[in-house]
């Protein structure tokens, strides 16, 4: 993958991804971090998995690679057009041994926070926590927040959003919706093709794989990496 940078059109930065490890190099020189004028945002299936002891706050900061203030701003901005509902963070509650509600805290006394999605159905608001979402919905929500992050970062630097396996279980409707949302954005995008979508998206012409002639695929290019 080649990415041209803002400061010099002749400069090329090579980016590779292998087993969730991203490497960047220019000639023989490797970069520990992306150049200052380039942002690479990497989304993977692993990003949708919480680690032991993580509340939603710490999980989202890690998954989206943002600090607390940036996370709160992302939630306030909204999650693009790929996921409906309103998001907010609230203190996570738990029951004590007597059935009384209390704030969930870790061993150091720090409060746990949970992400809550509010949807309006039949005129009524329904709240669902992140933990209460299905695997597919969690992937869609993280993708939506990543798209919002990429959109905001792209105002300042060249941005590449890489979606690897996070959409692996999307049905045809949701995958089409994802591509239609992404094609409207100003940043560059690389999306790995879910195996279950290959037959509906790819056809073979004289031994060469190509995208089917579908309206939502016409702005995309197929590449084997």
pLDDT tens, residue by residue, 52-64? 889 999 999 999 9
Give the strand pairing for 188-191 and 158-164: parallel
Q: List all residues 6 or more positions away from 152 whose beta carbon is below 8 Å from its beta carbon.
A: 74, 77
DSSP E strands in the chain: the ranges are 2-4, 12-18, 21-26, 29-31, 38-44, 86-91, 93-95, 101-103, 113-121, 124-129, 158-164, 188-191, 202-205, 208-211
Residue 174 tokens read as 């949701």
Query: Mean per-residue pLDDT for 163-189?
Result: 85
Residue 28 tokens read as 């023989």
What does pTM read for this prediction?
A: 0.80
Identify the band that residue 114 occupies on the pLDDT scale cut at 50, 70 and 90: very high
Residue 118 tokens read as 């509010």
Residue 201 tokens read as 């998206």
Spatial separation of the C-alpha atoms in residues 84 and 67, rounded to whole Å: 24
DSSP state of 111: B
pLDDT tens, residue by residue, 181-216? 998 888 999 888 878 888 888 998 888 889 899 999
Spatial separation of the C-alpha atoms in residues 47 and 62, rounded to whole Å: 8
């Amino acid at each position: 993958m080649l990415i041209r940078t803002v400061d010099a059109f002749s400069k090329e930065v090579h980016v590779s991804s292998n087993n969730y490890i991203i490497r960047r190099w220019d000639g023989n020189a490797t970069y520990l971090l992306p150049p200052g004028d380039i942002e690479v945002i990497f989304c993977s299936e692993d990003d949708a998995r919480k680690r032991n002891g993580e509340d939603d706050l710490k999980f989202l900061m890690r998954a989206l690679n943002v600090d607390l203030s940036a996370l709160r701003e992302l939630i306030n901005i909204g999650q693009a057009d790929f996921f409906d509902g309103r998001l907010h963070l609230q203190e996570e509650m738990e029951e004590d041994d007597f059935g009384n509600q209390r704030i969930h805290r870790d061993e150091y006394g720090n409060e746990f926070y949970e992400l809550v999605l509010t949807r309006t159905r039949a005129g009524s608001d329904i709240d669902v926590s992140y933990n209460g979402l299905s695997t597919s919905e969690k992937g869609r929500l993280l993708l939506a927040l990543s798209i919002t992050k990429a959109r905001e970062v792209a105002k300042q630097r060249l941005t590449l959003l890489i979606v690897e396996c996070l959409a692996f279980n999307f049905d045809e409707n949701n995958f089409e919706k994802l591509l239609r949302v992404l094609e409207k954005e100003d940043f560059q995008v690389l999306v790995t093709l879910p195996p279950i979508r290959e037959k509906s998206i790819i056809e073979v012409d004289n031994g060469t794989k190509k995208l089917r002639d579908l309206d939502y695929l016409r702005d995309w290019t197929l590449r084997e990496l």
